[in-house]
Structure 1
């Protein structure tokens, strides 16, 4: 037997009386004790096995300690922290039997482990919930309007409207006969009164040419929308008001 065998035997008897179902002597120099958190209100389960390896110089030096999870899980970081804590507690008891002190400290420390886990879990849930609320609030706020974003929006809406008009125009043209499409193209390219005046033609000549074009074909404004006819009328009225050459305005209405 080792030189401190008597001390170890006495300590084992004391531990066995306190922890009759938890302590187990694996050898003359090794004890194993089942340790649970002391008065924990946590729903999580955590039970560990503490192995105490006595040294020849015990109790004048600390025993070697090992931890193993029996129920639940324990991380390497938690194990390291718990063992360092027991060593600190044992340093204050050097020269005396200290396993009961180490076991009591560990039981209380396991409560702290569970509490710390619960705190971290709540913080993670709170953070996740705060991020969710912020995302929902951002959806309601929308994108802040600045001069740049407003101009970009206007440009995008104008582009969408232009595309819709072009698509509708293409559909109307495809519905026309070949001759009607040719007549419609003439309307699109025929110069305005101002353009004729600026090129040296009189308004009267322009009107006659315009009338001749209409009289010579079967083209009818009825094929086109009121919006298109109003657009031509408004353009020519503006020309007259600004001093341009007068023009004859045709309307089937």
Structure 2
């Protein structure tokens, strides 16, 4: 007759020695405990983790234990479903033998596969983005193919922009007074221009004022008698 209690006790001691840092007893009646399983680190240090809860039934190991995912990190819903399916499969294959170590090992391998799949998805995403960037660069380099339709659309838009540009420029020139006037237009706008020169001629230019202080009597000047021009200056003075 199988001593289920003894087999369960012996396995529990072995499990505790194998997983000293991740094994935790939750209760003794019924015997319930958790084991935390962590994947190996991926290329960028990413990991996934699952804490499995096992509970012995009275006739374990002839009947499978109960299990559940007690907690997890970085696992998706689909990943957890696959882990539960894996536990059921392994339990059915190992009925009649203590199986906790086998179940935990299978989950460990599964977590490593999940990390590898994450790595592959990341690489695929990287390649996809690189391909999209290359395609975008090709399109930018080749430019847009000119058709009659898009040329006519561009031409209509260009004509509107140029008309608006000319209108604004003309308005700015008018406001700034930059439009040039002809000589006739200047006289028409300022009638003083046609009388100022005539008035000057009628006055005979006699209205020009002279500052007589700028000139001195020739006799007051200190001249050098040895200067060859002295006689000339003296003669001029005598004639006056």
1:14-72 per-residue CA deviation (whole Å, 9 max, x = no partner) reads 324433444344333213223233x55541234432211122342233222122447x4
Alignment of 1:104-115 (within 5 A): 104-115=105-116
Matched position secondary structure for 1:144: coil
Matched position secondary structure for 1:117: helix
- Contact 1:46–1:69 (Cα < 8 Å) also in 2: no
2:53 counterpart residue number: 51
Alignment of 1:120-139 (within 5 A): 120-139=121-140
- Contact 2:55–2:66 (Cα < 8 Å) also in 1: yes
Unaligned segments of structure 2, at least 5 residues:
187-240
Alignment of 1:28-39 (within 5 A): 28=28, 29-37=31-39
1:23 counterpart residue number: 23
Alignment of 1:157-172 (within 5 A): 157-171=158-172
TM-score, structure 2 length as denominator? Answer: 0.60
Q: Tell me if 1:117 matches 2:118.
A: yes
Q: What is the deviation of 1:155? A: 2.0
Q: What value does the CA root-mean-square deviation take over the aligned residues?
A: 3.2
Alpha-carbon separation, structure 2, partners of 1:168 and 1:24: 84
1:201-253 per-residue CA deviation (whole Å, 9 max, x = no partner) reads xxxxxxxxxxxxxxxx9479xxxxxxxxxxxxxxxxxxxxxxxxxxxxxxxxx
Alpha-carbon separation, structure 2, partners of 1:33 and 1:61: 20
Alpha-carbon separation, structure 1, partners of 2:32 and 2:173: 97
Q: What is the deviation of 1:132? A: 3.6
2:204 counterpart residue number: none
Matched position secondary structure for 1:56: coil
2:212 counterpart residue number: none
Alpha-carbon separation, structure 2, partners of 1:134 and 1:113: 31
1:13 counterpart residue number: 13
Aligned length, in residue pairs: 179
- Contact 1:35–1:103 (Cα < 8 Å) also in 2: yes
Unaligned segments of structure 1, at least 5 residues:
181-216, 221-253
Alignment of 1:61-210 (within 5 A): 61-69=63-71, 72-171=73-172, 175=177
Moved more, 7-16 or 106-115: 7-16
Alpha-carbon separation, structure 1, partners of 2:70 and 2:144: 54
TM-score, structure 1 length as denominator? Answer: 0.58
1:202 counterpart residue number: none
Matched position secondary structure for 2:54: strand
Q: What is the deviation of 1:91? A: 1.2
2:230 counterpart residue number: none
* Structure with the greater alpha carbon radius of gyration: 2
